[in-house]
Amino acid sequence: MADLIDSVGLLLREAAATVVLPSFQHLAEGDVEEKAPGEVVTVADRRAERLIADGLRALLPDSVVVGEEGVAADPSVLDLLREPGLVWIVDPIDGTGNFAAGHGPFAIMAALVRGGAPVGAWILDPLAGTLAVAEAGSGAYVDGVRVTLSAETSQPLRGAAMSRFLPADLKARIQSGLPAIDEVMPGLHCAGREYVDIVTGAQDFVLFWRTLPWDHVPGALLVEEAGGVVRRLDGGPYHLAADGYGLLAAANAPTWRRVHTALLS
DSSP 227: T
Point out the annotated binding site: 68, 91, 93-94, 215
Neighbour tally for 189: CB within 10 Å: 17
Q: What DSSP element (H or E) covers 256?
A: helix 253-264
CA distance 211 to 244: 7
Helix, coil or strand: residue 192: helix
Tell me how far CA of residue 141 lies from CA of 27, 124, 241, in angstroms: 33, 12, 25
- Alpha-carbon 195 to chain mean position: 7
Q: Is the peptide bond before 105 cis (omega within 30 degrees of 0)?
A: yes
Distance between CA atoms of 160 and 206, rounded to whole angstroms? 5
> How crowded is residue 152: how many other Cβ atoms within 10 Å of its Cβ?
10
Percent helix, strand, coil in the chain, to 5, is 40, 25, 30
Annotated binding residues for Mg(2+): 68, 91, 93-94, 215
CA gap 141, 26 in Å, rounded: 32
- What are the backbone dihedrals phi and psi of residue 39, each rounded to the nearest 5 degrees, phi first? -125, 135
**Structural Rg of the chain based on CA atoms:** 18
Q: How far apart are CA 246 and CA 110, in angstroms?
A: 21
